[in-house]
Structure formats: C-alpha cells, structure tokens
Chain A
Amino acid sequence: MSYSVLTPTLLQIEKPAQSQWSKVTFLSAAPWVLEALDLIAALGNLPANWDGYGSPRIDIRARDAARRFVASVAFQNLPLPQISPVLGGSVGLHWRCGDRELEFTFQPDGRIEFLRVLGADLDRDENMEQGTLSHEPQTAGLKLLLWMVGAR
C-alpha cells in the first residue's frame, strides 16, 4: 500500500490562505476587474430589441449575478473576458486561453450555464462539456477557470 504525497491545490495557491472571513478580490491582483464590472453594467443601457430580433433588455438580475461572479473568481493570471449580451436578457462571459475556451451565461432566473471546449475539433463530443453551476457556483466557476488557464 502506498500513500500519496499531498500537495496544496492550485485553488489554494491562487487564493492564499487568510484569517479574514469577509471576501474581497484585491485589484492589485486582478486590475481588469473594474473594467469588466463597468462593461457588464453598461449592458443595462442596451434598449429592448437590441439585436433586431426582439430580445428584451439585459436583465438586472443577470447583470448583478455576472458582476458578483467576476468579483469572486478573478485571479492574477486570468485575462479580461469578452463580455456580451445574450438572447433572452442574459449576460455572457467568454474566456479563451490557448486551445481552451470557457463560456458562462447568466440567466435572469439565476441559472449560470457553462460550456467548456478543449481543442479545435468540435465534432468530438469529449472535447466539449456543458452544464449548470448549481452548488456554490463561484467555487465551481473558479475550478473551471483554473482548468482553462492550464492548472490541473
């Protein structure tokens, strides 16, 4: 019988241990956060039918959820995501890092859907995974983002 040597997870390395309980993201570690928050807030200025196909305005609940998510998951090596309005009044965040892509969609009803893609061959099912972040979405989202930046 062998015992594995335990090592700290990358999650712990990216978010160093603190004795403080209240959670903040320091802007010195992720200076792009303010820009991302402003871009998400600006989606609220889009009028109804912003896409010419009758889409409603971007829902404030979706915007708030996306802002809280960005404020929670930001870490040093993570770039500014592409931020876009999504049909139905939702907010989309899209990150790409090398051959890995990750997309989160924040729905007005509180659901956070994700799609992750590895490699260019989208015909292979094993290269794609989609689902909903349900339990502790910030932690689940952070794990996906660490996967995207190459942390295993």
Chain B
Amino acid sequence: MLERIAAAKRALPDFENPPAVETLMGVHFAPIEKWKSPHFGLFWASIKGDYPRVETQPPVIQPAAVEGVLSRMQSPLEFPLRCWFFNQDQTRLIQVQSNLFLHNWRRTARGEKYLHYDDLRPHFEREWHQFRSFLQQESLGPVKASTCEVTYVNHIDRGSGWETFADLSKVFPNWSPATSHNVLPSPELVAINASYPLKDVEGHLQISAQPAVRQQDAKETIQLTVTARCKPSSSSDDDLYRGLDEARKWVVLGFTDFTSPRMHEMWGRKI
C-alpha cells in the first residue's frame, strides 16, 4: 500500500525550478466557541521556541461566513483576530484564528532551495499536533474540521516567458488574445479566475492569475494562485492528512494542466 502511495506521489509532475514563491496548507474548522483573545498568547507560549515573532492580523473570512463574523464584530467584547507566528528566519509561518489553522512556507530569495510538499508536511503535522494538544489541554473542545486547504502561490515575472499581456496564451493555453472582429487592441491587463470541481472528492480547485507588482523588489509579475479545498472524511489526523494530500495532488495537476508545455520546459519539468 505504501509503495503504491509512493509511486502515485512520484507520478505527479515535478519541476527543477518551479515558480512557486509560497505554499500553504491547513485546516478550516467550525469556530471554537470558547476561543478568546488570551488563547493566542497561551498558544504562542507553547511554540515560541520555534516561532519567536508574532503579529496580529484581521481574520480571513470565507464568503459564506461573512454574516456570522460581522455579527461577532459588532459584539462589544470580542473582536475576531488572526495571529501570525513566524520562525526565526522568516521562512515559515503559522496562522491561527478561531476557525482556522494554516502553515505557510515562503521563498525569501530567488536562489533559495524550493521546499517540496513532502519536506513541509512533517512540519505541518508537528505544529498541528501541538495545536490539538493545546486545545485539549485548555479544554477548548475537539476540532470539527470542514475543509483541508493547500495553496501554491507562483510568480511568473515579466520577461520570464511573457513580455506583454498578448503573450499570455504562451503561458496559459486556455487563454487567447483573439477577438471576433479584431477591433480591440492588445489588452493592457489580463486577469483570469477559474474554479473547477475536484474529481472523486468533494471540493474545488481555484486558479487565479492576477497581474501584480511584487512589493519586495517592485518587479512586475503574474501571480498564479492555485488553491484546492476539499472536505475531509472526518476530523481525525489521518483523514486530515489524506485530505491535504488530495488537495496537494490537485494543486499540482491543476497547475501543470493550466500552464503550457513551453513554460514547463522553462521550469525544468522532470516528470
């Protein structure tokens, strides 16, 4: 069985130098009713050795949950928050809010080694285990997981496979600059949003290609964000990890299918 899983993993497309600048994986769950602001600090104390820096952020709100969150925002005593806990070299991040636990990895320099999912999942498992232990220790109740999420954020810089937005068909084969009567000139901006149902599992793959400027170096890029969200069979660790593996599989397949063989060659496709 393990051999079959390993063979399936090897069968996924793989790249020598993929354009990924960030990956994140995590679990969405029903809001933990007893979670209060001080719990952020208590949890931080338990991971501070590995994640010594903290920042508070506004919460990520899923569109379906806006109403519920807004009603909580109107409560005079409790304001929804998200906390970011960073590791020392600012390459890994844990995000926690009352209904969300995410682990991010980012590439801080262009030449830095790309960390594959297989390198990162053990980190996630360890931090997730710590989070669950914390919830148990503080009697905050069990996690009722609703969604496993894996997201890859890719930057395809201008000059690396495209020069103008009319070139985007060379990057994304499903897009074309052609118009019915050639009245329109070449586009000055192009953005693509697509959503696909996942096969054999309840969930969706969302792909977004947005023209952007990277703040770190003011370089123009197309941010290609590929997110797979799927429903786990249960809230057990095994089922959550299986859900993450499934989501990751679809992210990789979706990324490869959405981009062109010409770009795959540029990124050094191995499989």
Which residues does A use to contact B, with CB under 8 Å?
3-8, 12, 16-28, 31, 33-34, 37, 64, 67-68, 70-72, 74, 138
Contact = CB atoms under 8 A, between A and B. Distances in A.
Interface stretch (B114-122, B217-225, B241-249): B217-225
Contacts of B215: 23-25, 68, 71-72, 138
Contacts of B153: 20, 22
A12 to B, nearest CB: 4
B214 A31 contact: no
A138 B218 CA distance: 13
Contacts of A21: 22, 24, 93, 104, 106
8 contacts: A3-B77, A6-B79, A21-B104, A22-B216, A28-B189, A28-B191, A34-B213, A74-B213
B212 interface: yes
Q: Main SS of the interface on chain B?
A: strand
Given A24-B212, A71-B218, A19 B61 contact: no
Given A19-B102, A27-B211, A8 B151 contact: no
Given A17-B61, A19-B60, A19-B102, A37 B213 contact: yes
B76 interface: yes
Nearest to A37: B218
A67 B102 CA distance: 31
B57 A28 contact: no
A26 B102 CA distance: 23
A7 B93 contact: no
B95 interface: yes
